[in-house]
Structure 1
Amino acid sequence: MARTRLYLVRHGEQDPASDHAPTGGLSPLGREQADRLGRRLGTVPFTAVHHSRLTRATQTADIVAGHLPRVPRHACDYVVDRTPVPSPGQLSAYPDRWHAWFDGVPADERDEDAVALRAAVEHFGVVGEKDRDELLVTHNFVIGWFVRHVLDAPVWQWMSLNQAHCAITVVQWSDDRPPALISFNDTGHL
């Protein structure tokens, strides 16, 4: 029986001087976090590393890749920084206290009704003929969405999950059981 195991990692800490701009790179601490992450994951038999195109995620993946020299890596549109925002007809599925917060989500991060994030789960959450381990270097809300999906939690639950920089969350799909959360926000290597 085959399985797919996804290692979901939030990028390293962004340089505060960048004021959280999309082009902002890693801080010195973020580079150290990425190096520690790479050392921790160096023995995992990854088939691929997928990373967001944003500078902080690309730099994290580059540093981690130094510990995974034979693993192919590439920028991947499925793991870009997205915020699942409800359409007006779906707003009632979210707690009232968060409704106003959605107005501040930047246009380039908005993923109405999580259409793109649902596609990401569908793309990565498949089981092939043999075991597969893949690393996704991404962003907090993307990881929250995957965890919410695996736990079959309410649609808004991604908002209550916070991932530390370079922490490891592992989710797994098997051909003989529902998806499972293996670990969440593991920071033991940091």
Structure 2
Amino acid sequence: MARTRLYLVRHGEQDPASAHALDGGLSQLGREQADRLGRWLRTVPFSMIHYSPLARAVQTAEVVAGHLPQVPRHACDLMADRTPVPSAGQRGRYPDRWLAWLDGVPDDERDEDASALQAAVEHLGVTGDKDRHELLITHNFVIGWFVRHMLEAPVWRWIGLNQANCAITIVQWNSDRPPTLISFNDTGHL
């Protein structure tokens, strides 16, 4: 029985001075969070670190990778900051109370009908011939989408599944049973 275990982590705290910048880096606390995360994960047999190309995720990955020097890493567009928004034909699948907020999502973050996020799940959530552990350093809504998928919840249910900075969510695929949510938003290492 082969399994794939993905460790989904939201980047460290963003520098408040760049909070309104499109691509701000980490605060000092964010760097400390990433360091604690790296120390906590150093015994996991990761085969790869995938991270969002945004500065706060890149910097988180750099700090964590200092504790995992043998693990290859790469910027991965599948981990980019995305917000699932319904297309015109899918708006009825979302509660009315969220539609105005979703209409205001900036164009560069919009993922219509979560097509890119679903592609990320389909690409990364597969099993092979042997066990695989991978670290994904990404953003809140990306993790929310993976969790929603694992729970087979309605398409809008990623809303409100909020991740703490550098918290760990673990999802697992097995070759002989349905996917499983192992842990959600674990901050015990922080």
Q: What TM bracket, shorter-length normalisation?
A: over 0.9
In structure 1, what residue type is equivalent to 2:94? Y
TM-score by length of 1: 0.99
Instruction: Name 2:74's counterpart in structure 1.
Output: 74
Q: Which ranges of 4 or more aligned residues in structure 1 deviate by more than 3 Å? A: none
Residue 25 of structure 2 aligns to a residue whose secondary structure is coil
C-alpha RMSD of matched pairs (Å): 0.6
Q: Is the counterpart of residue 161 in structure 1 residue 161 in structure 2?
A: yes
Q: What is residue 171 of structure 1 aligned with on the other side?
A: 171
Normalising by the residue count of structure 2, what TM-score does the alignment of the two structures yield?
A: 0.99
Is there any run of 5+ residues in structure 2 with no aligned partner, and where? none
Cα deviation, 1:36-60, whole Å, max 9, x if unaligned, reads: 0000000000000000000000000
Q: Give how far 1:21 is off.
A: 1.7
Match of 1:127 in 2: 127
Count of paired positions: 190
Give the secondary structure class of the aligned counterpart of 2:159: helix
Partner of 1:97: 97
State the partner residue of 2:41.
41
Does the CA contact (< 8 Å) of 1:7 and 1:170 recur in 2?
Answer: yes
Give SS of 1:99's match: helix
Q: In structure 2, give the amino acid aligned to 1:56.
A: R
The one-letter amino acid of 1:65's match is A
Q: What displacement does 1:20 show? A: 3.3
Residue 22 (structure 1) shift:
2.6
User: What secondary structure is seen at the aligned counterpart in 2 of 1:98?
Assistant: helix
In structure 1, the residue matched to 2:106 is 106
**Structure 1, unaligned runs of 5 or more:** none
Please name the residue that 1:188 is paired with: 188
